[in-house]
């Protein structure tokens, strides 16, 4: 098809922190398609734009400092640029965005992009910042030296965007003039030689850029990547060529950086003039304090506390709305429909299940709102810098700090925030241990059990309270176990060389409202769309297991038998005694509709499964009802409180935040007895064990599904579920045994 | 001497970057090539990593990484 009518593909490349996303949104609008490239965890972002009657498809490539792939994730950018990605045509032009205030390092990437021989437009962003720093850039001269159009823009203010579109239309119509190589002649010669060798070996022609990369890549990644396609002699050719280059004083791989920065120096000479500026730049002054030994650390602590306060408290309000909305909708359906399986499916399975997902959305949006601000203004890199030493001790880097901290609010945004970690092994380790951080969904159970079963003891005049200590202990347990698991993972499954922490500390700038809002909505939507469908399926499954077979006669018979038992005991005790009052209350409860519902649950498939697995959970001191509640809480761990409520006859509507209901469940748990010998089920050792179980278990389908999405495999979520459940069981058993041993 | 041994606030000229692995490559890609001037600004509160100014921007590297960079103090 002719160039004038066909939709043209444009690839957008640039260093991180150059305003690339801002430019992408300015060019393509907010209607972006976000997906994943097959087999890697790189986000694929596509947008559309039009200019002078031309239609363009814009591909946003991940921000990178260099087009030298050493991992599958880095390979994606090169594959897209060389047109090697299946459902994406080769780019007709490249848009390369550079930070005008940091031209020298940014031009390194430009020099690689220019070697691809594609029509290119260089976008000079943040010219205002450059001017503030006393830098004057002669764009015309720069364009002349680079041999491509250079457009000055301020992407955050949408200044110069139209000129970028016009420049793109111009370059796709023109022809690309051959550009000289930045490399010394000896190196250019060797690349040509290797190109010929490869062509003569199997006739296939290799893109010159890939041949050059093959010669430069001493890590061996590219050779492994193209294993099947490369002739066997390639290894020897590479060794010969490298040896010859060593002899000529341009040894691989150092030659690349030296040659490219040499080229950058020649391009910039006379293009950029630096005028003396008054005083130290603002960034330097801010940075002096924000990375200060004491003040910087304090500032980080305060920022983090503020963010989490906001995530917990501000998100609390919309979460209650969502919750109330879900309850209202459930009530509406409940009234409008006759009782039966369909109504129960809609109310408990569908509305309840979707509600359990949607309720996370305010927290996700809140956290990403703040993280986007911190990232866009340049502080996130400082937080990683400040915390790196601490994280190195557990085998991770400073970049894992924010994702892990975020997981205390909710593991889902935490896992999504791990995308900033470039190294695959570090990112995976962070994702796999993130669910161990005590998230807010664990709070209801912590509150119920600690209040009911941990004695109110205090030392040092109320300063040290036992209940608070247990609470803090559960949080500490999550952190300590996460550190241990991270260490083990980094030495076994995810072993590899320590990735470099060579990281840019970008200049501070005002965050862009558009980018912050966009990122917030994007993350929330990604969660709802991907997780929502699967969670709905899981909730319906659990609903069905708790609903069927619903045998009315068997339930009434079982209840009647229990009532007869209580009546017999009531007859045996003196009337008016406390025991008689208790028994009378028990009898009344057995006659309530809640008791019928509870008996249905007990006789459901899940109830039977609970009894069937009782031998497995008995070593932990649990009866089958606890086991059953734990299984039913697989979709979301906070469900365990409501399920226990049902199984112990307290009723479905159970809100732990409210005083009276909370006491009802706690009382019900306290009077729960083993059927065989009338011992109480909930003792202090058993409760402590159950708390430890919930601190460590992976009962959250949303988290597992997000892990699947972020790792692009089912193996890692299964692994996470497996190891966390094993640790939770072991931890609960040890806690129970040790507590029993101490005679608690 | 190596870059990690430089006093805070001092500048130096890079002579060489040792090693051919990913870390050395990344150091060079980020602009630490022979001949360039680099200033050691300071260190994070726990003593590691270090903060540098090179080619007009701020770069953070760990001490073990900085130890690969041979410099000549200015």
Q: Express each pLDDT in A558-615 by its tens digit.
A: 888 888 888 888 888 877 788 888 888 878 878 887 778 778 877 888 888 888 888 8
A336/A341 Cα distance (integer angstroms)? 14
> What's the length of chain A?
744
- pLDDT over 70 (residue A401): yes
- Considering the domain architecture, whether residues A143 and A190 belong to the same structural domain is answered as no
Examine residue A618 and state whether it is found in any structural domain, yes or no. no
B54/A214 Cα distance (integer angstroms)? 29
Q: Give the closest-approach CA distance of A121 to chain B in angstroms.
A: 22
Give the pLDDT of residue B11.
Answer: 95
Examine residue A407 and state whether it is found in any structural domain, yes or no. yes
A96/A113 Cα distance (integer angstroms)? 8
Is the CB of A422 inside 8 Å of chain B's CB atoms?
Answer: no
- pLDDT over 80 (residue A484): yes
Q: Give the closest-approach CA distance of B43 to chain A in angstroms.
A: 8
Q: Give the closest-approach CA distance of B69 to chain A in angstroms.
A: 13
Inter-chain residue contact A258 with B21, CB threshold 8 Å: no
Residue of B nearest to A70 (CA): B22
- pLDDT over 70 (residue A618): yes
Question: Is residue B39 within 8 Å of residue B2, measured between CB atoms?
Answer: no
Average pLDDT of every residue of chain A? 85
Examine residue A509 and state whether it is found in any structural domain, yes or no. yes
Residue A1, classified by CB atoms within 10 Å of its CB into exposed (0-12), middle (13-18) or buried (19+), is exposed
Strands B11-17 and B69-73: antiparallel
Question: Could you report the predicted ipTM of this complex, rounded to two decimals?
Answer: 0.96
Boundary of a domain, candidates A227, A249, A274: A274
- Considering the domain architecture, whether residues A225 and A292 belong to the same structural domain is answered as no
Among candidate residues A271, A13, A259, the one with its CA nearest the CA of residue A118? A13
Among candidate residues A434, A436, A442, A407, the one with its CA nearest the CA of residue A691? A442
Q: Does residue B21 or residue A241 have the better pLDDT?
A: A241
Residue to substitute from A502, A507, A509, interface B, most B β-carbons within 10 A:
A502
pLDDT above 90 covers a percentage of chain A that reads 30
Residues in CB range of B22: below 8 A, 6 or more apart: A70, A219, A497, A499, A500
pLDDT above 70 covers a percentage of chain A that reads 94
**pLDDT level of residue A237 (50, 70, 90 thresholds):** very high
Provide mean pLDDT across the span A64-92. 89
Give the pLDDT of residue A399.
Answer: 87
Q: Give the closest-approach CA distance of A663 to chain B in angstroms.
A: 47
Rg (CA), chain A: 32
Q: What is the DSSP string of A524-579?
A: HHHHHHHHHHHHHHHHHHHHHHHH-S--HHHHHHHHHHHHHHHHHHHHHSPTTSHH
Examine residue A644 and state whether it is found in any structural domain, yes or no. no
- Considering the domain architecture, whether residues A346 and A456 belong to the same structural domain is answered as yes
Least confident of A140-144, A603-607, A690-694: A603-607
Q: Which two tokens stand for residue A63?
A: 């921000």
Least confident of A225-234, A380-389, A458-467, A511-520: A458-467
Count CB atoms within 10 A of the CB of residue A727.
20
Q: Does residue A5 or residue A48 have the better pLDDT?
A: A48
Inter-chain residue contact A102 with B57, CB threshold 8 Å: yes
Question: Is residue A23 within 8 Å of residue A160, measured between CB atoms?
Answer: no
The DSSP symbol for A500 reads: P
Boundary of a domain, candidates A173, A201, A219: A173
The DSSP symbol for B11 reads: E
Strands A43-51 and A135-137: unpaired
Provide mean pLDDT across the span A474-486. 92
Give the pLDDT of residue A652.
Answer: 46
Examine residue A162 and state whether it is found in any structural domain, yes or no. yes
- Considering the domain architecture, whether residues A314 and A416 belong to the same structural domain is answered as yes
A391/A196 Cα distance (integer angstroms)? 48
Examine residue A193 and state whether it is found in any structural domain, yes or no. yes
- pLDDT over 60 (residue A1): no
A376/A156 Cα distance (integer angstroms)? 11
Q: Give the domain CATH number at A101.
A: 3.40.50.300
A49/A287 Cα distance (integer angstroms)? 39
User: Which residues in A388-489 belong to E strands, given as ranges?
Assistant: 458-459, 464-465
Q: Write down all domains in chain B, each with its CATH number in brackets.
A: 3-73 (2.30.30.90)
Beta bridge partners of A154: A159
Q: What is the DSSP string of A458-486?
A: EETTTTEEHHHHHHHHHHHHHHHHHHHHH
- Considering the domain architecture, whether residues A456 and A312 belong to the same structural domain is answered as yes
CB half-sphere exposure, B53, CA atoms < 13 A: 13
Q: Is the peptide bond before A141 cis (omega within 30 degrees of 0)?
A: no
Q: Does residue A727 or residue A424 have the better pLDDT?
A: A727
Give the pLDDT of residue A598.
Answer: 76
Sign of the C-alpha dihedral computed for residues B59, B60, B66 and B68 taken in this order: negative
**pLDDT level of residue A277 (50, 70, 90 thresholds):** low
- pLDDT over 70 (residue A654): no
Is the CB of A219 inside 8 Å of chain B's CB atoms?
Answer: yes
Residue of B34, B61, B62 with shortest CB distance to A258 = B34
Give the pLDDT of residue A655.
Answer: 47
Give the pLDDT of residue A661.
Answer: 47
Residues in CB range of A131: below 8 A, 6 or more apart: none
The alpha carbon of B51 is separated from its chain's Cα centroid by a whole number of angstroms, namely: 8
Provide mean pLDDT across the span A362-376. 84
Residue to substitute from A280, A391, A500, A506, interface B, most B β-carbons within 10 A:
A500
A744/A734 Cα distance (integer angstroms)? 14
Least confident of A74-83, A428-437, A590-599: A590-599
- Considering the domain architecture, whether residues A98 and A219 belong to the same structural domain is answered as no
- Considering the domain architecture, whether residues A120 and A246 belong to the same structural domain is answered as no
Question: Is residue A601 within 8 Å of residue A546, measured between CB atoms?
Answer: yes
Examine residue A603 and state whether it is found in any structural domain, yes or no. no
- The phi and psi torsions of A655 (rounded to 5 degrees) equal -110, 110
Give the pLDDT of residue A276.
Answer: 67
- Considering the domain architecture, whether residues A330 and A438 belong to the same structural domain is answered as yes
Give the pLDDT of residue A162.
Answer: 93
A633/A444 Cα distance (integer angstroms)? 13
Number of domains in chain A: 3
Provide mean pLDDT across the span A285-294. 83
Question: Is residue B29 within 8 Å of residue A68, measured between CB atoms?
Answer: yes
Residue of B42, B57, B62 with shortest CB distance to A105 = B57
- The phi and psi torsions of B70 (rounded to 5 degrees) equal -85, 130
Rounded to 10 deg, the angle between the A466-491 and A715-741 helix axes is: 140
- pLDDT over 90 (residue A646): no
CB half-sphere exposure, A178, CA atoms < 13 A: 2
- H helix runs in A573-658, sequence order: 578-590, 593-602, 605-612, 614-617, 624-632, 639-647
Examine residue A590 and state whether it is found in any structural domain, yes or no. no
**pLDDT level of residue A531 (50, 70, 90 thresholds):** low
- pLDDT over 80 (residue A676): no
Provide mean pLDDT across the span A378-387. 87
Is the CB of A274 inside 8 Å of chain B's CB atoms?
Answer: no
- Considering the domain architecture, whether residues A460 and A376 belong to the same structural domain is answered as yes
A648/A667 Cα distance (integer angstroms)? 10
- A25-29, A191-195, A312-316 — which one is most confidently predicted on average? A191-195
- pLDDT over 80 (residue A134): yes
For tokens 């003196």, the residue is A574
Provide mean pLDDT across the span A308-317. 74
Rounded to 10 deg, the angle between the A208-216 and A185-202 helix axes is: 110
Q: Give the closest-approach CA distance of B70 to chain A in angstroms.
A: 14
A121/A12 Cα distance (integer angstroms)? 10
Inter-chain residue contact A66 with B29, CB threshold 8 Å: yes
Q: Give the closest-approach CA distance of A183 to chain B in angstroms.
A: 15
Q: Which helix (H) or strand (E) holds A34?
A: strand A33-36
Give the pLDDT of residue A664.
Answer: 63
Residues of A in contact with B25 (CB under 8 A): 68, 70, 218-219, 253, 257
Q: Give the closest-approach CA distance of A52 to chain B in angstroms.
A: 38
Give the pLDDT of residue A293.
Answer: 81
Which residues does B contribute to its contact with A (CB < 8 Å)? 17, 20-23, 25-31, 33-34, 36, 42, 44-49, 51, 55-62, 65
Give every residue of chain B whose pLDDT is below 50, as ranges.
Answer: none
**Domain extent for A255:** 185-274
- Considering the domain architecture, whether residues A166 and A225 belong to the same structural domain is answered as no
Boundary of a domain, candidates A145, A173, A201: A173
- pLDDT over 60 (residue A650): no
**pLDDT level of residue A144 (50, 70, 90 thresholds):** very high
Among candidate residues A631, A623, A569, A563, the one with its CA nearest the CA of residue A599? A563
Rg (CA), chain B: 11
Residue of B21, B55, B62 with shortest CB distance to A105 = B55
- Considering the domain architecture, whether residues A512 and A365 belong to the same structural domain is answered as yes
- Considering the domain architecture, whether residues A85 and A220 belong to the same structural domain is answered as no
User: Which residues in A119-159 belong to E strands, given as ranges?
Assistant: 120-125, 135-137, 150-152
CB pairs under 8 A between A and B: 115
**pLDDT level of residue A312 (50, 70, 90 thresholds):** low
Residue of A nearest to B61 (CA): A502
Q: Give the domain CATH number at A224.
A: 1.10.287
């Amino acid at each position: 098809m002719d160039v004038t009518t066909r939709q043209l593909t444009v690839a957008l490349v640039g260093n991180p922190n150059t305003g690339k996303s801002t430019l992408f949104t300015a060019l393509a609008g907010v209607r972006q398609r976000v997906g994943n490239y097959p087999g890697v965890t790189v986000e694929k972002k596509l947008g559309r734009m039009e200019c002078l009657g031309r239609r363009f498809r814009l591909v946003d490539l991940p921000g990178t400092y260099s087009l030298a792939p050493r991992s599958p994730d880095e390979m994606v950018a090169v594959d897209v640029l060389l047109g090697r990605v299946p459902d994406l045509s080769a780019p007709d032009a490249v848009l390369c965005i550079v930070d005008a205030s940091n031209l020298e390092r940014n031009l390194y990437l430009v020099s690689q992009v220019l070697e691809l021989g594609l029509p290119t437009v260089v976008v000079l962003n943040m010219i205002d910042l450059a001017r503030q720093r006393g830098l004057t850039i002669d764009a015309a001269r720069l364009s002349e030296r680079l041999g491509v159009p250079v457009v000055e823009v301020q992407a955050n203010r949408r200044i110069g965007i139209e000129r970028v579109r016009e420049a793109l239309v111009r370059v796709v119509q023109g022809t690309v003039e051959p550009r000289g190589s930045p490399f010394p002649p000896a190196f250019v010669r060797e690349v040509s030689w290797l190109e010929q060798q490869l062509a003569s070996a199997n006739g296939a022609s290799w893109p010159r850029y890939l041949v050059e990369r093959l010669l430069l890549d001493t890590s061996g990644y590219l050779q492994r990547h193209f294993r099947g396609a490369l002739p066997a002699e390639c290894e020897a050719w590479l060794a010969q060529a490298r040896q010859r280059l060593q002899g000529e004083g341009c040894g691989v791989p150092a030659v690349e950086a030296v040659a490219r920065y040499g080229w950058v120096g020649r391009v910039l000479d006379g293009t950029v003039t630096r005028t003396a500026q008054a005083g130290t730049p603002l960034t330097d002054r801010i940075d002096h304090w924000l990375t200060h030994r004491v003040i910087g650390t304090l500032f980080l602590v305060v920022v983090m506390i503020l963010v989490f306060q906001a995530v917990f408290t501000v998100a609390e309000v919309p979460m209650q709305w969502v919750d109330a909305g879900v309850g209202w909708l459930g009530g509406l359906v409940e009234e409008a429909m006759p009782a039966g399986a369909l109504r129960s499916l809609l109310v408990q399975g569908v509305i309840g299940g979707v509600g359990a997902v949607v309720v996370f959305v305010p927290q996700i949006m809140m956290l990403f709102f703040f993280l986007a601000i911190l990232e866009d203004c340049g502080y996130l890199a400082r937080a990683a810098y400040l915390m790196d030493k601490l994280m190195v001790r557990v085998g991770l880097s400073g970049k894992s700090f924010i994702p892990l901290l975020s997981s205390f609010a909710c593991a889902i945004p935490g896992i999504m925030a791990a995308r900033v970690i470039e190294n695959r092994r570090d990112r995976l380790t962070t994702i796999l241990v993130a669910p161990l951080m005590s998230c807010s969904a664990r709070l209801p159970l912590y509150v119920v059990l600690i209040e009911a079963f941990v004695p109110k003891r205090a030392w040092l005049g109320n300063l040290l309270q036992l209940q608070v200590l247990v609470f803090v202990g559960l949080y500490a347990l999550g952190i300590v176990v996460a550190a241990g698991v991270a260490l083990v993972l980094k030495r076994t499954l995810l072993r590899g060389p320590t990735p470099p922490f060579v990281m840019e500390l970008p200049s501070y700038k005002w965050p862009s409202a558009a980018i912050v809002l966009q990122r917030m909505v994007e993350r929330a939507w990604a969660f709802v769309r991907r997780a929502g469908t699967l969670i709905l399926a899981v909730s319906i499954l659990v609903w069905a297991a708790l609903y069927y077979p619903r045998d009315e006669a068997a339930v009434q018979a079982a209840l009647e038998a229990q009532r007869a038992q209580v009546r017999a005991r009531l007859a045996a005790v003196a009337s008016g005694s406390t025991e008689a009052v208790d028994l009378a209350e028990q009898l009344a409860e057995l006659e309530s509709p809640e008791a019928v519902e509870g008996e249905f649950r007990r006789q459901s498939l899940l109830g039977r499964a609970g009894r069937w697995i009782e031998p497995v959970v008995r070593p932990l001191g649990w009866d089958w009802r606890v086991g059953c509640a734990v299984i039913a809480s697989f979709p979301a761990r906070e469900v365990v409180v409501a399920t226990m409520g049902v199984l112990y006859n307290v009723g479905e509507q159970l809100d732990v935040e409210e005083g009276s209901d909370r006491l009802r469940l706690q009382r019900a748990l306290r009077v729960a007895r083993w059927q065989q010998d009338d011992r109480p089920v909930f003792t202090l050792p058993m409760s402590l064990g159950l708390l430890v179980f919930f601190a460590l278990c992976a009962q959250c389908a949303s988290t597992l599904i997000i892990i699947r999405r972020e790792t692009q495999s089912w193996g890692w979520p299964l692994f996470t579920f497996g190891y966390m459940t094993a640790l939770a069981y072991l931890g609960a058993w040890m806690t129970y045994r040790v507590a029993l041993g101490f005679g608690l | 001497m190596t870059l990690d041994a430089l006093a805070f606030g001092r500048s130096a000229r890079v002579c060489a970057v040792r090693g051919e692995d990913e870390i050395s490559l990344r150091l060079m890609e980020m602009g630490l090539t022979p001949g360039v001037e680099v200033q050691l600004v300071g260190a994070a509160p726990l003593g590691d990593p270090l903060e540098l100014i090179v080619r007009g921007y701020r770069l953070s590297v760990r001490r073990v990484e900085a130890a690969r960079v041979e410099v000549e103090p200015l």
